[in-house]
Amino acid sequence: MNKKLKLVDWMEINSEKHDSLTSKMIQYVSIAEQIDVDVIGEWEITDLMKKYKSTKWIEEPINNSDATDSISFDDSTLNLIEFNTITFGQFIDLEFLISQGFVDNINKIVTTLYLKSEKEKFKKAIVENYGDIDIDERAKFLMYETSINDVLGSANSYLKWRDNIFNSYTFWDDSLDDINPDDLSGEELDIFEEETERLERAKDTMWEDMLGLLSDGDITKYDDILGTNIYLVFNRIAKVIEDAKKSNKK
């Protein structure tokens, strides 16, 4: 039976930079044997190396196919949501977590993608209200109770689905992508740099801008919009932008 890494151990391994082979061996043995690093630090190097040889499983690649659609703990079960049902609010939260570091936030990403649900015969699954979840509290729990082998493939599948979302709507296209700044000079380069800075600033407020666009500035509509399916929101944004372009041409 293959050994599995807890989320917390995978996060630690993939975020820490070792300054020596010894520090790496200590960390791996600590994870594999569940022994405090300070205790292992007192060992003879020969004993450390002997134990380290049995930790090679930690570096084995994790297959996406190992992922499971459900994770259980205590008397609860969390099921992987259908990505096509994700709301605008969930999408924004996931974008923030990914932007802040996939590895550092894998437990919160998993918490967002796996929710409690009940399924009755011939009926759609009833999924718990995302807004009622304490993401931080559940993520902290899952970090120690869930194996990375069981969820990494699902998180990677979400990243692929996310890429397809961005590629499906032209309003995400960056008009500067095809421009090589090395081919520019003088005034052209100045304009390019100014436009690049403007686009970077726009990223900081793009979700707020979208909410403002869809709500006509009425903040009382925000909750409803955040709870709306991501496809419906992006379809609406695409139509508003297209209508504005047509209006400007008249």
Let me know whether 116 and 26 are in one domain. Answer: no
Is residue 97 located within the same domain as residue 158?
yes
Alpha-carbon distance of 105 to 7, in angstroms, equals 10
What is the block-wise mean pLDDT of the chain (250 residues), using blocks of 10 residues?
A: 83 85 91 91 92 88 84 86 94 95 95 87 79 93 92 94 89 58 62 57 76 89 94 91 71
Residue 187 lies in a domain: no
Identify the CA nearest to 2 among candidates 56, 55, 57.
57
Q: Which one-letter DSSP state was computed for residue 5?
A: -
Domain closes at, from 168, 196, 222: 168
Q: Is residue 122 part of a domain?
A: yes
**Is 87 found in the same domain as 49?**
no
CB 38 within 8 A of CB 16: no
**CA-based nearest residue to 233, from 198, 209, 249, 199:** 209
Q: Which residues on adjacent β-strands are paired with residue 70?
A: 79
Check residue 222 and give left, alpha or beta (phi > 0: left; psi -120 to 50: alpha).
alpha
Q: How many domains does the chain have?
A: 2
Place of tokens 């590629």: 167
Q: Which domain holds residue 91?
A: 64-168
Computed over every residue of the chain, the mean pLDDT equals 85
For residue 145 the two structure tokens come to 């109770």
What lies within 8 Å, CB to CB, of 87 at 6+ separation is: 130, 226, 227, 228, 229, 230
